[in-house]
Amino acid sequence: MTTKEFSLQLLKEITDNFSEKHIIGHGGYGVVYKGVLADGEEIALKRLYPVPGLDDTQFTNEFNNLMKAQHPNVTRLIGYCYNVKNERVKLNDKYVFAHSDEKVLCFEYLKGGSLDKHISDESCGLNWHTRFKIIKGICEGLNYLHNGSKDPIYHLDLKPENIMLDENMVPKIGDFGLSRLFPSARTYVTIKVIGTIGYMPPEFIERREITSKFDIFSLGVTITRIVAGYDGYSKCARMSLEEFIKHVHENWEKRLQDTMSSYTPEQVTTCIKIALSCVENTREKRPNIAEIVDKLNMVDTTESLSTSQIAKKRSWNSERLSFFPVGARDVLSAPAGPFSRLSPLGAGATLAESTKMLGCHVYSKYFGSRKARERWWRSLLVLWIIGSTLASFHLFHYINSNAVEKRRDSLASMCDERARMLQDQFNVSMNHLHALAILVNTFHHSGNPSSINQVTFATYMERTAFERPLTSGVAYAVRVTHAERDQFERQQGWSIKKMYSPNSQGEGDAAGAMIREPDEEYAPVIFAQDAYKNVISFDMLSGADDRENIIRARESGRGALTAPFQLLNGRIGVILTYSVYTSEAVVNARPQELIQAAIGYLGAIIDMEALVDKLLHQLAGKQSIMVNVYDTTYEYPIRMYGSNDKGSGMYHNSSLNFGDPSRRHVMHCRWRWKDGSKLDV
């Protein structure tokens, strides 16, 4: 298109002598007016300010730059006006002749205005498709300026204010007031300050260097603001690449959650990556404009492919209709409305009637034969049986799981209840024995002479046996040092004996017992129930289990238990030992103080099987579980009650606390059938 030369008079006429009402913008190098030519064409007139140093040659060069730029994304130059004259002006009350000129550039008028008026964040404003089209158009226009001719044109002030939009939102790069035509792609240095703060690259701010990467830096800032608004560039400076991309994606997803297609996130990511690579501080790391256009074309191709896939899907849907008879295809493909033309029932048939008739026709053709129906019914029957079986199995598994869980909870509750009751009954026996220890201390050691002897002790034990139904024997041993032994034996009239000897047959065999060898300390029995009076004179410290029990009892001030053993009656029992202290012993004394204060030891045999039997007898109506009691102090548990068979299946273990912290006991419970056998779950 030929560029026109307009007279200054014509331009004044179409702008009412460049009146303010025709102003549509202000640039760094002139004011922009709107005018309408005689043929109705709207144009934008840029009336340049008087620029010091801009001579005719320089203006001609700038004009030639605009003449060379012919691209859909570059503002089209329609004409110009260059009017030079000498006029008389008044200066200091005198008239002088001065040289004056008018330089006006006329461009196509773009109704969309400048891009900066359309920039907003992701939540409002232009949709993504329009923004991507603008970004791609700007890049293609800049690619033309840099690579469209032998010598590149550098814009040097690329920003949203210098990018115009037409009525179809097609971007066009404008305002070439600062552009220069460079004969090569080398680096140039200038002393002039050009461009706009915020769009200038670091190398220009620091060293006034100009290359094609000047425009690339400005492009990166512009793309960032198109995608994320004016605050986008400041946000990306505070975030990493991944964080900024995620931030922009989330904002676009909020706006386009229902309409964003599969290719949109890829386009957003590509644009942000391009923008951030364009604003690298080192210009060598910035891409050139041709590389940027290639990347945008690649993601734009993805959009085209997605659109073609939708078209193919529609075509496939049309092909599927060919499965039906011709009448069916007509009905299924026709829009909603009367079916008089297509209906087999004739004119006036309703949509429901036509559809019903069509369904009967299709069913009769493909499923109407007897064999086909039989095959379908057999298949449906098999599917129904399989489905019912799976559903029944799932239901059974669900119900059984709930039942098992309830039985497990019930077993745990019953076992914990029995363990708690057994502990309570054992504690009653311990309390009675503790009271007896206090009685011995009061009437034997504190009295002078003693109020207790073997006869009174045995009589008291016999008359109060109902208070200790679970103890089968009680004895008291006094503490004797080696220095006191001779005097003690003369007072008692017998010698201290060992608990065991090589010739003895068991505990309490006085005939085979040997005289106790000299030792540092002794614990001979001086009182015992009549049934166990044969243990009198035996040293309790000479038996391994009894010695351990005595030492632990006097150090702790609490009862100490032995490991389970078989009693003379064949049942399983344990020995509970209490230490008797002097009256001066303090309650919170240290172990060494307790050892020094010990003066005797009271021991009782507790029939554990009788204790548990009594408990279970009290719960005779609740005997739906089997109970075993074990001493688990050592690696292998020792049975105290019940059978040795722990059984299998569902069980529960409840801890038992018999007051001795050095020993551990547990109650093992299982379900029992009504006939007495075990129930394995």
Do the strands 598-607 and 625-631 form a parallel or antiparallel pair, or are they unpaired? unpaired
Residue written as tokens 């060379």? 68
560: CB partners within 8 A, 6+ apart? 548, 549, 550, 552, 553, 576, 577, 660, 662
Q: Around 674, how many Cα atoms within 13 Å sit in the side-chain half-sphere?
A: 0
* Cβ atoms of 601 and 616 closer than 8 Å: no
- Other CB atoms within a 10 A radius of the CB of residue 155 amount to 27
Distance between CA 415 and CA 623 in Å, rounded? 11
Report residue 544: phi and psi, to 5°: -60, -50
Pairing between β-strand 4-5 and β-strand 77-91 as defined by DSSP bridges = parallel
Cβ neighbours of 345 (radius 10 Å): 14
Catalytic residue from among 116, 121, 151, 157? 157
Q: Is 133 annotated as a binding residue?
A: no
Residue 14 host element (H or E): helix 8-14
DSSP E strand stretches across 592-675: 598-607, 625-631, 638-641, 651-656, 665-672
d(CA 112, CA 671): 87
Yes or no: say if 540 and 547 are a contact pair by the CB < 8 Å rule: yes
Give dist(CA 48, CA 102) in Å, integer. 8
C-alpha dihedral sign at 345, 348, 351, 353: negative
Known catalytic residue: 645? Answer: no
Residue 210 Rama label (left phi>0; alpha psi -120 to 50; beta): beta
Rounded Cα gap, residues 230 and 224, in angstroms: 8
Residue-wise burial string across 400-421, b where 16 or more C-beta atoms lie within 10 A, e elsewhere: eeeeeeeeeeebbebbeebbee
Place of tokens 């709107």: 34
Q: Give the residue numbers marked as catalytic.
A: 157
Annotated binding site for ATP: 46
